């Protein structure tokens, strides 16, 4: 829970970092279990549900001003299991090359989030110092 001084952009960055952490953990689990028979691939969703919730909060004209903040704070990544994917005859659904690509993509997204967070912190420090 954030206080009233925390901007919505900072809450969004916090939630995005939480999503990235869950995504990297799921990808790592998939790679580790690449040789486990009957293992089903895990994937993490976040953007679609968050987008729908933000659009609903933005369209509700009668909502309290804190509705958007509550929508952002309530967002949580969801880990799902792909039951219909099979990469091998033993019904293991892990495509290791695909998982490595997703891991690299996730690393770039995390790096972008760190830069955005650092930029927001720099702006806040400049405002506090009066520069």
Q: Note the pLDDT tens digit of each residue in 69-84.
A: 777 777 778 888 887 7
- Find the DSSP H helices in 2-95: 8-32, 47-59, 67-74
pLDDT, mean of residues 32-51: 86
**Digit-coded pLDDT (tens) for 19-35:** 999 999 999 999 999 88
Mean pLDDT taken over the chain: 82
User: Model-level pTM?
Assistant: 0.74
60 compared with 129, residue with greater pLDDT: 129
E-strand stretches of 58-108: 78-81
């Amino acid at each position: 829970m954030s206080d009233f001084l925390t901007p919505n952009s900072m809450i969004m960055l916090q939630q995005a970092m939480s999503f990235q952490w869950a995504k990297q953990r799921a990808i790592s689990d998939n790679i580790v279990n690449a040789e486990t028979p009957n293992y089903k691939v895990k994937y993490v969703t976040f953007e679609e549900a968050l987008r729908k919730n933000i659009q609903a909060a933005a369209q509700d004209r009668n909502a309290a001003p804190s509705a958007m903040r509550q929508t952002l704070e309530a967002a949580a990544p969801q880990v799902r299991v792909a039951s219909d994917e099979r990469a091998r005859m033993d019904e293991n659904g892990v495509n290791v090359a695909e998982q490595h690509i997703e891991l690299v993509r996730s690393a770039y997204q995390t790096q972008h989030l760190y830069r955005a967070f650092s930029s927001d912190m720099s702006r806040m420090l400049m405002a506090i110092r009066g520069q």
